[in-house]
């Protein structure tokens, strides 16, 4: 990793809730609101923005864990701001706390852990996990 990534670093993204983000199972909308799946994706994305400027060309980040509390709904067309704060940096592990807010207040909170690895290590892990012999 390049130097300079420090605890306290902050990144944010703004999204607008679309129908594609609704809570849907087997092609059927269960709740016409921002889903936990979409929130998890956006929490991972804003956390990834923390590490991107610090990756060397031979490195990549991999998601290691996501803990999320989806606290309130956010309807179609609402704006959601997700903010990640770097709270722990140990060896090659990067941990962020993420908050999601809409026009009413906090709708979600989470913790995202990423591991920075050499691309060749990731490639080997993918090869080891493949079905081919």
User: Domain locations in the chain?
Assistant: 10-127
What's the pLDDT band for 133 if we cut at 50, 70, 90? Answer: low
Q: Which of 2-6, 16-20, 94-98 has the lowest mean pLDDT?
A: 2-6
Rounded mean pLDDT, 24-42: 96
Q: Are the beta carbons of 34 and 21 closer than 8 angstroms?
A: yes
DSSP annotation of 75 reads B
CA distance 74 to 100: 10
Question: Is the pLDDT reported for residue 131 higher than 90?
Answer: no
What rounded mean pLDDT belongs to the chain?
A: 96
CA distance 71 to 28: 22
pTM above 0.85, yes or no: yes
Would you say domain 10-127 falls under CATH 3.10.129.10? yes
Rounded mean pLDDT, 8-35: 96
Q: Is the dihedral of CA 28, 34, 35, 39 positive or negative?
A: positive
What digits encode the pLDDT tens for the residues 84-96? 999 999 999 999 9
The percentage of the chain sitting over the pLDDT mark of 70, rounded to a whole number, equals 99
């Amino acid at each position: 990793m390049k130097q300079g990534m420090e605890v306290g670093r902050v990144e944010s993204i703004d999204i607008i809730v679309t129908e594609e983000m609704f809570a849907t199972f087997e092609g059927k909308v269960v709740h016409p609101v921002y889903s936990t799946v979409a929130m998890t994706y956006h929490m991972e994305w804003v956390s990834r923005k923390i590490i991107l400027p610090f990756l060397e060309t031979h490195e990549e980040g991999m998601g290691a864990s996501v803990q999320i509390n989806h606290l309130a709904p956010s309807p179609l067309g609402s704006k959601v701001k997700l903010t990640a704060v770097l709270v722990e940096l140990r060896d090659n592990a990067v941990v962020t706390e993420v908050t999601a807010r809409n026009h009413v207040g906090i709708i979600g909170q989470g913790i995202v852990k990423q591991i920075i690895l050499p691309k060749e290590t990731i490639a080997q892990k993918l090869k080891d996990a493949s079905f081919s012999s």
